[in-house]
Amino acid sequence: MKQLIFSLFFIGVSISAQRVKKTIIKDSFLINDALKMEMNITNIPIIVETSKDDKVHVDFELDFLKYSEKEMEEYLKIIALEQFFMEDTFVLKIKSPKKIRKREFYSKDYIKKEFNFFTKSLKKKMKFDLARNSKKDILDMFNKEDVSFFSLDKFQDEVIKKKNYKSFNALFKISIPKKFLKGLKITSKESVINFNNLIFESLNLKLEGGGAKIREVSNSIISINNGHGLFGGVKSSNIDAIGDSWKNLVIGSISNSKISSEGIKIEIGEVDDNIEINNFSSQIYLNFFSKNINIFKCIGDYSRIYLFDSYDLDKFSITGVNSILKNKGKKTQIKSKKIPSLNTNEKLQIKVKNSEVTFLKKSKVE
């Protein structure tokens, strides 16, 4: 029995000896009388939350497993931080010349399995297989700790059993005073930013690659270039999104806002009043319409627009050129005229060119 206890103790010591936590940056900054804040983030995954005082706090750690001292030192030296004041604005710049993910997992076996899984997922996504998600469904998705488009955990488990791997976790956090929830400006390049449950009264976000997860924004300007976005709620804001069919913009609910998109896939749980969507070569999924909706305008060119049966087709004025309407198993060609038998409601408009408009009664797109 003593021999067994000693063996288990030895195994525990051996594993812990291979796992090392390193502090990269741990600092705080007085913001003095700054009224605004700007953040420039490059190649780094971070969590942004509010601080309990009037300081900006930066806490960066890396949790290594099976990395040599030399390998760890390389990571500790690459992140650069710069902070300064520019008139009434506190500016914080953090960058890495090398892209750092929240989790890094290296194994020859894992890479092979990951590629095979990615290929299968690609084929599945090309079938436009998307569940109809309500505002609540999307908020439930938002409340998950991690949101990823491809879950590879089961392959990690297989490789871990073979003990043929090494990994690290990035624990990067920035805490900001609550007053910066109004007037915050962020420029992010190839970074994933998680704002948890923060509600912004005014946010200027420019996202180039990477992604952002935000509970709610209002009176904001969001620019997404080849990145992902998950928003619990959007109010009185403008969103400009460019990407490809692999890039997703998911919104729980939206009101009094405009969206311009090119190439990206957009899903909205609930469409409220006064919405304008202009899209080119995009996929738009409008799952539910609020009972309060009065003004809705969607213009599509080389796009696919999907609406579920929560709203009557006859409520919309649909016009188009060289397009197709799919409803109740029937296809209607739209050449250069308004679709027959539909009303002329100018407040609820869908205008398309070289596109498809589909009204669905099934739970998934096929």
| Nearest C-alpha neighbor of 65 from the set 96, 105, 101 | 105
Domain residue spans of the chain? 14-105+165-194, 133-150+214-366
Counting Cα atoms < 13 Å in the Cβ hemisphere of 310 gives 18
Write down the pLDDT at residue 336: 63
**Average pLDDT for residues 238-262, to the nearest whole number?**
91
Judge whether 114 and 152 are in contact, CB under 8 Å: yes
Give the tens place of pLDDT for each residue, 47-96.
999 999 999 999 999 888 888 888 888 888 889 999 999 999 999 999 99
Write down the pLDDT at residue 297: 93
* H/E segment holding residue 175: strand 166-176
Neighbours of 179 (CB within 10 A): 15
Write down the pLDDT at residue 284: 93
Write down the pLDDT at residue 59: 95
Is residue 159 over pLDDT 60?
Answer: no
Is residue 39 over pLDDT 80?
Answer: yes
Strand partners, 223: 206, 240
Q: In a 10 Å sphere around its CB, with 0-12 CB exposed, 13-18 middle and 19+ buried, how is residue 235 labelled? A: middle
Write down the pLDDT at residue 151: 41
Give the tens place of pLDDT for each residue, 318-347.
888 899 988 877 888 877 655 444 455 678
Q: How far apart are CA 270 and CA 267, in angstroms?
A: 9
What is the SS3 assignment for 17?
A: helix
**Average pLDDT for residues 149-168, to the nearest whole number?**
54
Is residue 126 over pLDDT 60?
Answer: no
Give the tens place of pLDDT for each residue, 270-279.
999 999 999 9
The mean of the pLDDT values for the chain is 80
Highest mean pLDDT pick, 140-144, 152-156, 238-242, 293-297 = 238-242
**Average pLDDT for residues 204-223, to the nearest whole number?**
95
- Does 272 or 136 have the greater pLDDT score? 272
Is residue 16 over pLDDT 80?
Answer: no
Amino acid at residue number 93: K
Is residue 153 over pLDDT 80?
Answer: no
C-alpha distance across the termini of the chain, in Å:
60
pLDDT band, residue 237 (cuts 50/70/90): very high
pLDDT band, residue 32 (cuts 50/70/90): confident
User: What global pTM score does this model have?
Assistant: 0.83
Is residue 282 over pLDDT 50?
Answer: yes
Write down the pLDDT at residue 167: 78
